[in-house]
């Protein structure tokens, strides 16, 4: 009994480490999502020449897509599992960011809005999957704390993403004031920001894969069954 308990401790600590890595995914995803909010208005106005009303419509398409995908994303997590949907969402975000980084200026508004809509829809997948995966593995007495940590990681991702992507955008544009830059310079800044966002999405995919490898093959119910089967033997004692 003591040997079995001692062997179980390293496995429990490994699961905790994987869950700690998994909690980094929303921070990275939020950093990617904020890229469209930081870079988008400059690109839509400075590179594509839209007025304020059309910029607002274009920017609203992303949150609308995320809202529409939210409930189906939750159902998909229930059917496929949190780890698989999380990796799918991050892979889709990486593909959309790569499309935004490579799209030529001649593609116009469609070349920006279409990947934006798909990226925010993929972000809804990431949110649903990560929330489910982390909260399902949290113990009852720590769910509030884990929920707070999830919110903290997202806010940190927002703060870091806003600063980092803004800096990369200005560096890529090559001018200190993007609002008065030429359209080609603004487009270059947009491409630089989304190129970095692509790398971050791939990094998040790698982290989520490392976090979920080994946990998906052992469902939570298996641990519960093991605990229930072991309980009678402990109650009977060694001499039973």
Which single residue is written with the structure tokens 């791939």? Answer: 202
d(CA 191, CA 187): 6
Tokens of 212: 């979920």
86 exposure class (CB count in 10 Å sphere: 0-12, 13-18, 19+): buried
How does DSSP classify residue 48?
T
d(CA 60, CA 81): 30
Tokens of 17: 């480490």
Backbone angles phi, psi at 213, to 5 degrees: -65, 120
How does DSSP classify residue 105?
G
Spell out the per-residue pLDDT of the chain, length 240, in tens. Answer: 555 555 455 455 445 544 544 455 666 677 777 888 889 999 999 999 999 999 999 999 999 999 999 999 999 999 998 888 988 999 999 999 999 999 998 899 999 999 999 999 999 998 898 888 777 777 777 778 777 777 777 777 788 888 888 899 999 998 888 777 889 999 999 999 999 999 988 888 887 777 656 444 444 444 444 444 444 444 444 444
d(CA 94, CA 2): 47
d(CA 44, CA 112): 8
Tell me how far apart the terminal alpha carbons of the chain are, to the nearest angstrom. 14
Q: Which residues contact 157 (CB under 8 A, 6 or more apart)?
A: 26, 27, 28, 29, 30, 31, 34
How does DSSP classify residue 182?
-
Q: Which residues contact 205 (CB under 8 A, 6 or more apart)?
A: 87, 90, 91, 94
**What are the helix (H) ranges across 103-219?**
108-137, 143-173, 183-212
């Amino acid at each position: 009994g003591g040997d079995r308990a001692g062997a179980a401790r390293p496995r429990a600590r490994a699961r905790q480490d994987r869950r700690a890595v998994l909690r980094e995914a929303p921070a990275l995803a939020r950093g990617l999502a904020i890229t469209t909010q930081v870079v988008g208005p400059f690109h839509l106005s400075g590179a594509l020449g839209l007025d304020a009303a059309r910029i607002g419509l274009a920017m609203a398409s992303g949150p609308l897509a995320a809202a529409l995908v939210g409930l189906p994303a939750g159902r998909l997590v229930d059917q496929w599992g949190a780890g698989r949907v999380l990796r799918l969402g991050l892979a889709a975000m990486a593909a959309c960011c790569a499309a935004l980084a490579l799209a030529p200026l001649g593609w116009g508004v469609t070349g920006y809005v279409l990947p934006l809509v798909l990226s925010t829809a993929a972000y809804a997948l990431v949110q649903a999957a990560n929330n489910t995966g982390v909260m399902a593995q949290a113990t009852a007495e720590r769910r509030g704390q884990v929920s707070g940590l999830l919110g903290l990681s997202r806010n940190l991702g927002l703060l870091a993403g806003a600063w980092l992507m803004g800096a990369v955008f200005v560096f890529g544009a090559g001018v200190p004031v993007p609002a008065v830059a030429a359209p080609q310079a603004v487009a270059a800044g947009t491409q630089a920001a989304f190129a970095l966002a692509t790398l971050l999405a791939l990094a998040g995919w790698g982290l989520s894969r490392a976090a979920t490898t080994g946990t998906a093959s052992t469902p939570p119910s298996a641990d519960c069954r093991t605990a229930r089967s072991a309980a009678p033997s402990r109650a009977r004692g060694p001499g039973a």
